[in-house]
Amino acid sequence: MDRGESIGLMEPLLIGESSRHRSGLTDLTVELAARAAGLRRSLPEGVRTALADLVRAMNCYYSNLIEGHDTHPVEIERALRNDYSTDARKRDLQLEAKAHITVQRWIDAGGLAGRAVTVEGIREVHRRFGELLPEDLLWVQDPDTGERLKIVPGELRRRDVKVGRHVAVSPGAIPRFLARFERAYSRLGKTDAIPAAAAAHHRLLWIHPFLDGNGRVARLMSHAMLLETLDPGGIWSIARGLARNVTAYKGHLACCDLPRRNDLDGRGTLSEEALADFTRFFLEVCIDQVNFMEDLVRPDRLRTRILLWAEEETRLGKLPSKAGNILEAVLYRGEIPRGDVADLLGITARHARRIVASLVDYSVLTSESPRASLRLTFPAALAPRWMPGLFPERAG
């Protein structure tokens, strides 16, 4: 059923050019772009690639945490190796996390390039995620009737829903609203597209196109938009900031559902001031996360933490001597050919292979093949030592 709602009900989709909020948001946009570019340039490509894998797991962890699903990155990492819990519920959550990472990896590889805000792209994100979910996570319960409802991956909802106090548009109206959504957000230049990532985030949730999974889809869409506009290199994530400020995040989203307050509050049906406040919050969270990662991966500090760990493991007899020298070389260069290790350390090729094998077994070095160059990895189990504060330590 399409109740004929006017698409003007979700205006404004963007902060108007004459808005008194525009200048401050532009300043934040410029600051975010500069800081993101600086962080990306500060890291060797090999380190950046390794860090992106860990951040992808972190992003998944925090995005799921916002939905009330707590699957620690160590368990997520195990799922990526097809090592699942014997507990059915934990296994389902591991599969859910693996699905999230698979979709984000596809986005990071350019799978959604140019389509992040298109109807086709949004539905594909939902479809790809849903098709990887276990059967038990493809059902939701109607809070009013108790009826169990099946989620069809990629399918727009076919019934009315209410989220908090917000009654979403009728099912039949969704294609019209999504078409307007696509027109508004797909033709923006980079400067406008960065703050628009916040507006699009809320407006997609306001439309609520799917029976379930809208929050994850919106966060993955925002990730894709920032990927195209800022080229963050996958080394920071807004999801961590949103999860750490989840009350403010959900409060802003609820305020953005409210109607225009007065004649000074824009010219749309919804409050422009609330949308501007959320955009400011969104950009400030992004800047905070860039600053956090920049401080965490400062070459001198990162090198000190990793080499201190290697020294302690060597003292305990868990790593051979000179293992730290290899890690130091990889940190400096980004990657190192296997054949260079023996000369670098002044040892025999056989001894070099033994040290490399110990680091590979520890999952701190990896390569694409037995002859390929060695590069760093950031295992989730070592994150508390190497990347303190990235996510909580696992209990127990």
| Structural domain contains residue 386 | no
Predicted confidence (pLDDT) per residue in 256-307, tens digit: 999 999 888 888 999 999 999 999 999 999 999 999 999 999 888 999 999 9
Asked if residue 93 and residue 79 are part of one domain, the reply reads yes
| Structural domain contains residue 174 | yes
| Structural domain contains residue 370 | yes
Which residues, in sequence order, are CB contacts of 360 under 8 Å at separation 6+? 366, 367
pLDDT exceeds cutoff 70 at 310: yes
| Structural domain contains residue 281 | yes
Q: How many domains would you assign to the chain?
A: 2
Domain closes at, from 251, 277, 296: 296
Predicted confidence (pLDDT) per residue in 170-192, tens digit: 999 999 999 999 999 998 998 89
Spell out where the chain has E strands: 139-141, 148-150, 162-163, 166-167, 335-336, 365-366, 374-376
Predicted confidence (pLDDT) per residue in 329-353, tens digit: 999 888 999 999 999 999 999 999 9
The reported pLDDT for the residue numbered 233 is 85
pLDDT band at 45 (very low <50, low <70, confident <90, very high): confident
Asked if residue 304 and residue 270 are part of one domain, the reply reads no
Asked if residue 263 and residue 121 are part of one domain, the reply reads yes
Question: What's the pTM value of the predicted model, to 2 decimals?
Answer: 0.93
Asked if residue 284 and residue 305 are part of one domain, the reply reads no
Asked if residue 335 and residue 314 are part of one domain, the reply reads yes
Provide DSSP, 257-325.
TSBP-STTS-SSSB-HHHHHHHHHHHHHHHHHHHHHHHHHT-HHHHHHHHHHHHHHHHHTTSS-TTHHH
Query: Across the chain, what does the average pLDDT equal?
Result: 94
| Structural domain contains residue 147 | yes
- List of long-range contacts for 122-127, beta carbons under 8 Å, 24+ apart: 122/178, 122/204, 122/209, 122/217, 122/221, 123/154, 123/156, 123/209, 124/154, 125/217, 125/220, 125/221, 126/153, 126/154, 126/210, 126/213, 126/217, 127/153, 127/154
| CATH number (domain holding residue 360) | 1.10.10.10
The reported pLDDT for the residue numbered 46 is 84
Domain closes at, from 236, 271, 296: 296
pLDDT band at 396 (very low <50, low <70, confident <90, very high): very low
Q: What is the mean pLDDT of residues 199-219?
A: 97
Asked if residue 144 and residue 287 are part of one domain, the reply reads yes
| Structural domain contains residue 387 | no
Q: What range does the domain containing 283 cover?
A: 7-296
